[in-house]
Amino acid sequence: MEKISIAKRLNNNKRGYLIINANQGKHKIALIEDVKNEYATLADLSREILKNALVIGFAETAIAIGATLAESVGAFFMQTTRENICAYNEYIHFTEAHSHAMEQRLVLSDMEEIYHQVDRIVFVEDEITTGNTIWNCIEEIESIFKGRKRYAIATLLNTLSEDRKAFFKERNVDIVYINYIDKESFEEDVIDTITDGDVYRIDSKSLNNYVKEISFKTDIRTRRLLNIQKLDAEIERLEGFLEEKYNLSEILKNKKTITVLGTEEFIYAPIKLAEYIDNISDAKVYVHSSTRSPIEVSKTFEYPLHARYEVRSIYDKNRQTYIYDLKQSDVFFLFTDGKDNEGEADILEAIRLSGNENIYLIRWDNE
């Protein structure tokens, strides 16, 4: 359980703690090898419930986990989203009460297309604490389709109480997980956190000319219903494009450390790119992502996060987002489908301030 630690949320009165998994590759930077092994372990445990299933990954933190589980069996994949990707009345809405961003939703037309084609719907999370969000989503789906579909949950970490375990068992919702821990003391554990970590508030005006920009044209919209095999094929096309046009192998030659940073809900493709880089280079390859989650940082050695970069969102300059513990690397890739110029400039400035000079911006351009 050394990979699991507890962090203190920033300005959240609903839940004071956040569980950090060092092998998840989201808030905390992680070696891609560890991320790959963590996801593969859950996929192996989930194989039975994934048969003829629709896999739904929860935004933001479980999207890549869910996509990986779908990939392991060639399943269809959807993600929840907080972004505006279609008209307001074209969603299935539900809430995540303890979150910094409560509203969650699924695209209604996508669910209409897939609901009757699958035997089960599998929700994927990084950790499940009460299961209320998932149950809210199940109730919303069934209120519309009334098909009495079978449901299951796959999660890296299970912290459900005995009452909540019984709740889901009575409703025939299977739960698969890697680790279980008791969360009863977590609120008390974070109260006395020394919040003396480094905080950088970025306000960059323009994209600096030290960044090498790469645009990859694609028709794949990752926030919609996906045949995961088509998405994987498109990521492979990206890898070939980077080799053919930019000589990626030469860029990586003799490098010792490489980082791939995703953005908010866009993390599966960056993780797959990091896997590819890990396969073709001898470097240590790291991955993580910007996030909406505001978390306290501390210089205490045992605490999971030590530096916070506050940047405007690459999807909406009026939204605050965060990056934690940026690492100085020989090559740094920012891989995103975001298009806000000011948010983009902020993230790139944060990357530069953390000591990076060899920076590539890869745009997943689906418009």
Same domain, yes or no, for 33 and 153? Answer: yes
Token look-up 């009863």 returns: 184
Per-residue DSSP letter, 145: H
Same domain, yes or no, for 108 and 208? Answer: no
Asked if pLDDT for residue 340 goes beyond 60, the answer is: yes
Helical residues (DSSP H) of the chain, grouped into ranges: 32-45, 63-73, 108-114, 132-145, 162-170, 186-191, 228-246, 248-252, 268-280, 341-353
Same domain, yes or no, for 101 and 213? Answer: no
344 φψ region: left (φ > 0), alpha (ψ -120 to 50), beta (else): alpha
Domain boundary among 176, 191, 206: 191
The domain in which residue 170 lies consists of 4-191
In the numeric block, which tokens belong to residue 179? 């680790």
Domain boundary among 191, 219, 244: 191
- pLDDT > 70 in the chain, percent: 97
Same domain, yes or no, for 186 and 205? Answer: no
Band (101; pLDDT cuts 50, 70, 90): very low
Same domain, yes or no, for 23 and 141? Answer: yes
The CATH number for 353's domain is: 3.40.50
- pLDDT (0 to 100) of residue 208: 67
Q: Taking all residues of the chain, what is their mean pLDDT, rounded to a whole number?
A: 94
Asked if pLDDT for residue 97 goes beyond 70, the answer is: no
Same domain, yes or no, for 49 and 154? Answer: yes
Same domain, yes or no, for 125 and 259? Answer: no
Q: Kindly state the average pLDDT of the residues 76-86.
A: 93
Prediction pTM value: 0.95
- pLDDT (0 to 100) of residue 98: 46
- pLDDT (0 to 100) of residue 56: 98
Same domain, yes or no, for 245 and 147? Answer: no
The CATH number for 56's domain is: 3.40.50.2020
Summarize pLDDT for 250-279 with one digit per residue, the tens: 999 999 999 999 999 999 999 999 999 999
Same domain, yes or no, for 106 and 230? Answer: no
* H/E stretch holding 174: strand 174-180
User: Are the beta carbons of 343 and 314 closer than 8 angstroms?
Assistant: yes
Summarize pLDDT for 172-229 with one digit per residue, the tens: 999 999 999 987 788 998 999 999 999 999 988 766 678 999 999 999 999 999 999 9
Domain boundary among 164, 191, 218: 191
Same domain, yes or no, for 37 and 165? Answer: yes
Same domain, yes or no, for 272 and 346? Answer: yes
Same domain, yes or no, for 243 and 325? Answer: yes
Band (68; pLDDT cuts 50, 70, 90): very high
Total domains in the chain come to 2
